[in-house]
């Protein structure tokens, strides 16, 4: 009798184990089926579809060590969960969390996921219900548009000029531009061929991003992409640009701004681990290797001579803005120094909120060839344009409302050195990307705000001549609400000749007068700085340069081997600004509210 009871107990236990094993297999099959419906595995952040599959489905932990009552309750709960999960999968419920039980029998939610549409691809795109590819990441976005850019590449001979446009200030009282003398030597057939290719690319923009309800409006609306999120700062770094970029980011933080910063470096050769993963990380900034995104395309785009599309120098800026993760972007040159918090003073205010794009002026008259407007599809030279050219030491853009002009500006830059730079500047001083963003907005009738307050000038006298050092650019919101010149606050100092590169400054003679002895301030006198900015901006910059130069003199590749760099920086600081305070000197007002006169 006892043997029979024991046998029955063993059989019952064995049966229970079989039931549990079958149940477990059934649950796993249900989960796998639900996930498999998407035809694409959901990957954790930082892992792509090409990563070897060394992960498993979440395990359902069964309560083998529970009492009989607990076992029954756990089984009932698990069956209920399985039924709910199956119902959700079958009905397309928005709740995509699967619940499991832990070793204590408590429900535990697995990481929620959203299955991709059927036909999901592993190249970063997915097929929608209409069969049209939907871009789901920056790599796929670039793969698509790089093909379109390459397909409409100019095939005519390079734009040649009969002479260079003169670099001139506007005439006194002149506020709007006039057609400049045309130096372009190319034939009408060349210009027409360039126009047709430009038109093809714009047609692709129209097809993909055009807002049909705004056609014919003076300020055309364009659609964007949902892959870009949030607000942030974009810079180009690497090599000699790392030093000034670090100073700019540190000055940004002194305004009280905490927006993330993406510093784009062209390729792995210019990625410096100690800078990117240690120093910049402390400033809430990170390096983005541009080539890692460009390589997602079948079109080879790089700095190398064998590339399908060769890009370098100025051309990298538009690509960095385009391929950054942000929706709202402040582009800063590495040598452009913010004086006010751009979040509260630009992104949150007019005119940016309504215009979606802000451009700042240069000193010089615009010198584009009238042929550019023919290429851009304009029947005549546009009227009412500002007399001066633009300056892209800083530029603000909303990539949702202005993705089309940004793509067109990228098109201009990729083909800039041979075609669009000479068309837009005709060899005048500063020829490069400076006019491409403004020209693209005009070509597509997109909204923009061009700051009207002229750029200011900061400089130094070396004992022989007065030399310009930096431009002062002003706050758009003050500019728009103009009441008096004194009410318009400076927003940026673009220090480009020389750049605030600590290693270069101490070795290349820019800090000394022609007598070889007298030390120079580069951004005007202390009193001028106090009057203009409300604080000694040059001393604040130098405080950071001494700190950064001494910390990184043996770390930053470009500074290694510069003997006595830290000592030279400290010596200049002491002779020009006095004893350096232990905690540094004050920077821009953190609130960004104080007006400087």
Domain ranges of the chain: 14-45+56-109, 231-456+466-480
Nearest to 541 by CA among 585, 575, 508: 585
pLDDT of residue 22: 56
The CA-based dihedral angle spanning residues 145, 150, 156, 157, taken in that order and rounded to the nearest 10 degrees: 110
Residues of the chain with pLDDT under 70: 1-135, 582-587, 589-597
* Residue 396: alpha-carbon gap to chain centroid: 10
Nearest to 253 by CA among 229, 282, 275, 277: 282
pLDDT of residue 95: 34
**Is the N-terminal amide bond of 335 cis, ω within 30° of 0?**
no
In terms of Cβ atoms closer than 10 Å to its own Cβ (0-12, 13-18, 19+), residue 576 is middle
467 phi and psi, to 5 degrees?
Answer: -120, 135
Distances (CA, A) of 260 to 244, 271, 399, 445, 482: 18, 19, 16, 31, 31
CATH number for 231-456+466-480 (one of 3.30.420.10, 3.90.550.10, 3.40.50.1820, 3.90.1150.10): it is 3.90.550.10
pLDDT of residue 86: 42
Structure tokens at 543: 């405080």
H/E stretch holding 467: strand 466-474
Question: What is the C-alpha to C-alpha distance for residues 540 and 584, in angstroms, rounded to an integer?
Answer: 8
271 phi and psi, to 5 degrees?
Answer: -80, 125
- Supply the pTM of this predicted model: 0.77
Structure tokens at 476: 């758009």
Q: Is 391 helix (H, G, I), strand (E, B) or coil?
A: strand
Q: Is 536 helix (H, G, I), strand (E, B) or coil?
A: coil
> DSSP characters for 437-462?
HHHHHHHTTB--EE--SPPEEEEEE-
Question: What is the C-alpha to C-alpha distance for residues 284 and 353, in angstroms, rounded to an integer?
Answer: 25
Strand partners, 456: 472
Structure tokens at 114: 């959203």
Strands, E assignment, 67-207: 99-101, 107-109, 125-127, 133-135
pLDDT of residue 481: 95
């Amino acid at each position: 009798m006892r043997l029979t009871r024991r046998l029955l107990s063993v059989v019952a236990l064995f049966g229970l184990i079989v039931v549990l094993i079958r149940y477990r297999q059934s649950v796993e099959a249900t989960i796998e089926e639900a996930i498999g419906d998407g035809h694409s595995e959901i990957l954790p952040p930082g892992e792509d579809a090409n990563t070897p599959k060394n992960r498993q489905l979440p395990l359902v932990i069964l309560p083998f060590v529970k009492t009989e009552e607990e076992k029954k309750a756990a089984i009932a709960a698990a069956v209920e969960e399985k039924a709910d999960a199956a119902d959700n999968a079958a009905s397309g419920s928005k709740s995509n969390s699967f619940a499991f039980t832990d070793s204590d029998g408590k429900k535990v939610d697995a990481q929620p996921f959203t299955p991709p549409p059927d036909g999901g691809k592993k190249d970063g795109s997915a097929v929608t219900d209409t069969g049209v590819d939907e871009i789901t990441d920056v790599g796929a976005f670039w793969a698509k548009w790089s093909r379109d850019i390459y397909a409409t590449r100019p095939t005519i001979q390079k734009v040649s000029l009969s002479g260079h446009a003169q670099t001139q200030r506007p005439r006194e009282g002149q506020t709007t531009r006039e057609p400049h003398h045309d130096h372009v030597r190319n034939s009408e057939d060349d210009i027409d061929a360039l126009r047709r290719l430009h038109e093809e690319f714009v047609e692709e923009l129209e097809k993909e991003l055009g807002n049909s309800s705004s056609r014919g409006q003076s300020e055309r609306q364009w659609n964007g992409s949902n892959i870009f999120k949030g607000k942030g700062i974009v810079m180009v770094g690497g090599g000699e640009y790392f030093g000034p970029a670090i100073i700019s980011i540190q000055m940004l933080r002194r305004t009280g701004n905490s927006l993330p910063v993406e510093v784009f470096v062209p390729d792995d050769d210019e990625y410096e681990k100690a800078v990117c993963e240690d120093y910049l990380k402390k400033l809430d900034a990170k390096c983005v290797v541009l080539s890692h995104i460009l390589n997602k395309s079948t079109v080879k785009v790089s700095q190398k001579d064998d590339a399908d599309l060769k890009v370098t120098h100025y051309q990298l800026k538009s690509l960095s803005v385009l391929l950054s993760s942000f929706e709202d972007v402040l582009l800063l040159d590495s040598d452009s120094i913010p004086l006010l918090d751009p979040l509260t003073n630009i992104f949150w205010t007019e005119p940016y909120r309504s215009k979606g794009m802000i451009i700042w002026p240069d000193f010089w008259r615009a010198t584009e060839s009238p042929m550019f407007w023919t290429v851009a599809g304009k029947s005549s030279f546009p009227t009412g344009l500002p007399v001066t050219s633009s300056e892209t030491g800083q530029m603000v853009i909303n990539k949702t409302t202005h993705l089309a002009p940004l793509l067109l500006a990228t098109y201009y830059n990729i083909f800039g050195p041979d075609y669009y730079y000479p068309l837009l500047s005709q060899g005048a001083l500063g020829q490069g990307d400076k006019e491409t963003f403004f020209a693209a907005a005009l070509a597509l009738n997109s909204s923009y705000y061009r700051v009207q307050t002229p750029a200011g000038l900061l400089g130094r006298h070396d004992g022989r001549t007065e030399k310009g050092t930096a431009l002062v650019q002003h706050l758009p919101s003050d500019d728009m609400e103009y009441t008096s010149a004194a009410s318009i606050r400076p927003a940026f100092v673009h220090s480009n000749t020389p750049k605030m590169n600590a290693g270069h400054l101490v070795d290349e003679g820019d800090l000394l007068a022609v007598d070889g002895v007298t030390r120079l301030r580069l951004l005007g006198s202390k009193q001028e700085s106090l009057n203009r900015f409300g604080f000694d901006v040059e001393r604040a910059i130098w405080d950071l340069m001494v700190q950064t130069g001494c910390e990184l003199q043996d770390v930053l590749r470009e500074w290694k081997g510069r003997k006595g760099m830290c000592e030279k920086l400290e010596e200049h600081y002491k002779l020009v600004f006095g004893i350096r305070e232990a905690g540094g000197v004050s920077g821009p007002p953190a609130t960004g509210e104080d007006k400087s006169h």
